[in-house]
Structure 1
Amino acid sequence: MTANDASTTDGPVPGERVRHGTGVNSNRAFPTSHHPEHLDPFVLFERFYIDPDQGFPMHPHRGFEIVSYMIDGGMDHEDSLGVSNVAEEGEAMRITTGSGIRHSEFPAGGRGCNGLQLWVNLPREKKEVDPDYVDATQADLPTEEHDGATVTTVVGDDSPLSLHTPMEYLDVRVSDAYEWTVPEDWTGFVYGVAGEGTVAGDAFGEGDVFPVTDETAVELRTDADLRVVAVAGRPHDEPIQQRGPFVL
């Protein structure tokens, strides 16, 4: 982990409301005033809420990878590769922006939508790889029942989605307790999607984020229901230089 990526956060912090120039609102986990650093290899993470008359017109990206995972409604994606796809609830897409790609994102079918978007830095030697796109239906993403939780793998073992950065991305629905094991020397976070409970013994709810920089096991508990995503990846140990839609 690089010095500017080292977290000084101790325990969960709330996400921060972000209003994009197109009028779309998001709850951003990082970087924010509560957690101003990136989490190498992760550039940013947020939950977006797009009203029926809003969206993101065609715009450019380069130098990183995007994972979008839908929570409710559908999102219509089109890009400069000629791809056109609607991702519905429980479906995901991975975009490698690489040397450059343009895409648009709008709610599908005249209804609002919301989902999660993660930006993952590309290592320096791969910044200029060819842009690429892959999507996955809900049926494509493996789901396992554990004692106390149901876990869907969005990125990781047996998922059709993979990135240039070794990582895992889990959708965890906790009904009692679940211990998330983080590979040694990886960096990650837990983000609250719905419900409430505890993460590593601290109160945790929707919109909260718990950065993971040293832990190799994180305990999730609830007396009712708690839904989170748990994301971790191998750091590149390189500075993250974000310039708007580009990561240099």
Structure 2
Amino acid sequence: MAKQASRFQRDIKDHWYVSYNKNGYPHVQQGFVLNPERLQEWDPFVLMADDWFKRGTFSDHPHRGFQTITYVIDGRLEHIDNAGGHSILDAGDVQYMNAGWAARHAEEAVDDDLIHTLQLWLNLPKSLKNSDTSYQDIRLEDVPTVPFEGGAVKVYAGTIADVIGPLESMVPITMSEISIGKGGTYTHRIPENHNAFLYVLSGELEFGKSKTAIKKTGAAHLTFNENGSLESELPIKANERSKVLIYSGVPINEKVAAHGPFVMNTMEEIQQAFRDFQAGKFGPPAV
């Protein structure tokens, strides 16, 4: 009988804690879970922002060349786009946007809410940067939950624990939220060729063979095997009641130029995006 190949064992490559800028009203506080200054390391991800904000922070604005995945931690998020789309998302909901060639939208707190969100920027390969703009709301009640002894995993995107998440990305990714009670353990399995990171929402957990302990507002970049084709494993243990988000994606391995609301391959393309917006090619305002 042929010996089954062993799974790649992931560990913590690097970890850090998010530092926050207190900006005042209306963008009350912001920190970077993934700092865009290190975007080459995060491929296919560009940045992740951790924001607290009031209404008036992210009114009508454009995007081109990438995707966003916005996870609502607290408060109500109102989305408006210039194609007539409108929705309100609550805690645990996610909005996916493919900016593609020309997105124009607004993301606002509802009424007097102080909203807390995580927004991940997910790159598009050059071949998809001119794709059609689209939006998808993923409601918490539509996210499959897989229980395990001592906890559960919510599968937002990709295939985790033999369950497929509802988020339909333009590139292969996984997104999961794992909740574990004190002393509980779980082994997270994702494709070994995915670049991956995690962000601890609450509690304290130990990860990988190194048993690196990470607390709330801690983030980590994971080891991976870019040329592999099998699954990988990340052992997790909760030192207290905890919750963690884990994201992964296949690296695109292209040059990245990111400036303002645009992510392209060259600065010339960035400048063209600004010219197109100023020329009205992104359509009317999102109001």
Post-superposition shift, 1:18? 4.5
Match of 1:60 in 2: 62
- 5+ residue gaps, structure 2, are 1-11, 226-231, 265-287
Contact kept, 8 Å, 1:31 with 1:38, in 2: the verdict is no
* Larger Rg, first or second structure (1 or 2): 2
Using the size of structure 1 for normalisation, the TM-score is 0.88
C-alpha deviations, 1:79-137, integer Å up to 9, x for none?
12211111111111111000011111111132111121111100110000010011121
RMSD: 2.1
| Separation of aligned partners in 1, 2:144 and 2:30 | 27
Match of 2:271 in 1: none
Match of 1:233 in 2: 249
1:125 counterpart SS class: helix
Q: Partner letter of residue 164 of structure 1? A: M
Match of 2:219 in 1: 209
Contact kept, 8 Å, 1:197 with 1:220, in 2: the verdict is yes
Q: Which structure features the higher share of helix residues?
A: 2
Residue 123 (structure 1) aligned to one of 122, 125, 128: 125
Contact kept, 8 Å, 2:36 with 2:47, in 1: the verdict is no
Match of 2:140 in 1: 138
Contact kept, 8 Å, 2:187 with 2:235, in 1: the verdict is yes
Q: Partner letter of residue 50 of structure 1? A: F
Residue 261 (structure 2) aligned to one of 209, 227, 245: 245
Match of 2:5 in 1: none
Q: Is the alpha carbon distance of 1:122 and 1:18 closer, same or farther for their aligned partners in structure 2, counting shifts above 3 Å?
A: farther
Q: Structure 1 residue 27 and structure 2 residue 31: aligned?
A: yes
C-alpha deviations, 1:32-74, integer Å up to 9, x for none?
67x56541101111222113x5521111111001111111111
Contact kept, 8 Å, 2:39 with 2:45, in 1: the verdict is no
Contact kept, 8 Å, 2:44 with 2:250, in 1: the verdict is yes
| Separation of aligned partners in 2, 1:19 and 1:44 | 19
| Separation of aligned partners in 1, 2:234 and 2:76 | 31
Contact kept, 8 Å, 1:30 with 1:37, in 2: the verdict is no
Using the size of structure 2 for normalisation, the TM-score is 0.77
| Separation of aligned partners in 2, 1:191 and 1:95 | 21
Contact kept, 8 Å, 1:38 with 1:44, in 2: the verdict is no
State the identity %.
26
| Separation of aligned partners in 2, 1:220 and 1:112 | 32
| Separation of aligned partners in 2, 1:65 and 1:38 | 18
Residue 174 (structure 1) aligned to one of 174, 177, 180: 180
Matches within 5 A, 1:35-184: 37-51=40-54, 53-157=55-159, 158-175=164-181, 176-184=184-192
1:182 counterpart SS class: strand
Q: Structure 1 residue 223 and structure 2 residue 239: aligned?
A: yes
Q: Partner letter of residue 14 of structure 1? A: Y
Contact kept, 8 Å, 1:155 with 1:162, in 2: the verdict is yes
Range that drifts further, 14-23 or 212-221: 14-23
| Separation of aligned partners in 2, 1:130 and 1:30 | 26
| Separation of aligned partners in 1, 2:79 and 2:58 | 10
Match of 1:187 in 2: 195
- 5+ residue gaps, structure 1, are 1-8
Contact kept, 8 Å, 1:40 with 1:240, in 2: the verdict is no
Contact kept, 8 Å, 1:30 with 1:38, in 2: the verdict is no
Q: Is the alpha carbon distance of 1:206 and 1:245 closer, same or farther for their aligned partners in structure 2, counting shifts above 3 Å?
A: same
Contact kept, 8 Å, 1:27 with 1:207, in 2: the verdict is no
